Amino acid sequence: MSRMSLVVLAVLAAVWWVVGNLERALPPERVVIQAGPAGGSFDKHARRYAEYLIRKGLRAEVRNQDDSLKIIDRLDDASTGVQIGFTAQRVVPREHSHVNSAGVVELQPLFLFVRKAATGPATLAGLAGRKLVMPPQNSITAKVAQEVLGLYGVTPGNAAFAFVPLEAGVRALQRGEHDAGFFVLAPDNAFVQELVSDPQIETYPVDDSTGIARHLDYLKPSVLVRGAFDLKAPLPPRDVALVSATVNVVVREDIHPAVLYALLQAMADVHKGQTLVSDAGEFPRQAGAALPVHPHALEWAKTGTPWLFAKLPPAVAGVIDAYWAPLLALAALVSAFGSFQSLNGAIDNAVLAAAVGWLGWVYRRIARGGQPGWATRTLFRLVEPLIVQQPPGESARDRLERLRPHM
Letter string b/e over residues 84-93, b meaning 16 or more CB atoms within 10 A of that residue's CB:
bbbbbbebee
Rounded Cα–Cα distance for residues 44 and 175 (Å): 26
- Name the H helices within 176-313: 190-197, 209-215, 257-271, 295-303, 307-311
N- to C-terminal Cα separation, the chain: 20
Q: Coil, strand, or helix at residue 362? A: helix
Residue 204: name the closest of 131, 134, 110, 128 by CA: 110
Q: How many CB atoms lie within 10 A of CB 311?
A: 10
21-71 residue pLDDT tens: 555 678 899 999 999 999 999 999 999 999 999 999 999 999 999 999 999
The pLDDT value given to residue 24? 64
139-174 residue pLDDT tens: 999 999 999 999 999 999 999 999 999 999 999 999
Letter string b/e over residues 29-57, b meaning 16 or more CB atoms within 10 A of that residue's CB:
eebbbbbbbebbbbbbbbebbbebbeebe
On whether the CB atoms of residues 138 and 216 are closer than 8 A, the answer is no
- All residues at 6 or more sequence positions from 232 whose CB lies less than 8 Å from its CB, including other chains: none
Specify the length of the chain in residues: 407
**DSSP 8-state secondary structure symbol assigned to residue 135:** S
The pLDDT value given to residue 282? 95
pTM, rounded to two decimals: 0.75
**DSSP 8-state secondary structure symbol assigned to residue 293:** B
65-90 residue pLDDT tens: 999 999 999 999 999 999 999 999 99
Residue 145: name the closest of 161, 131, 130, 158 by CA: 161
**DSSP 8-state secondary structure symbol assigned to residue 30:** S
What confidence category does residue 17 fall into, taking pLDDT thresholds of 50, 70 and 90? very low
The pLDDT value given to residue 95? 95
CATH match for 108-246 among 3.90.700.10, 3.30.70.270, 3.40.50.300, 3.40.190.10: 3.40.190.10
374-400 residue pLDDT tens: 767 777 777 777 676 666 555 666 666
- All residues at 6 or more sequence positions from 314 whose CB lies less than 8 Å from its CB, including other chains: 27, 56, 57, 58, 256, 258, 259, 262
**Alpha carbon 389 to chain centroid, angstroms:** 47
Question: 27-106+247-311 in CATH: which number?
Answer: 3.40.190.10
262-300 residue pLDDT tens: 999 999 999 999 999 999 999 999 999 999 999 999 999
What confidence category does residue 222 fall into, taking pLDDT thresholds of 50, 70 and 90? very high
Integer-rounded Cα radius of gyration of the chain = 28
Tell me: pLDDT of 184 over 80. yes
Residue 114 host element (H or E): strand 99-115
Rounded Cα–Cα distance for residues 130 and 134 (Å): 13
Residue ranges, comma separated, of all CATH 3.40.190.10 domains in the chain are: 27-106+247-311, 108-246
Tell me: pLDDT of 15 over 70. no
Tell me: pLDDT of 180 over 70. yes
Rounded Cα–Cα distance for residues 270 and 317 (Å): 24
Rounded Cα–Cα distance for residues 244 and 291 (Å): 18
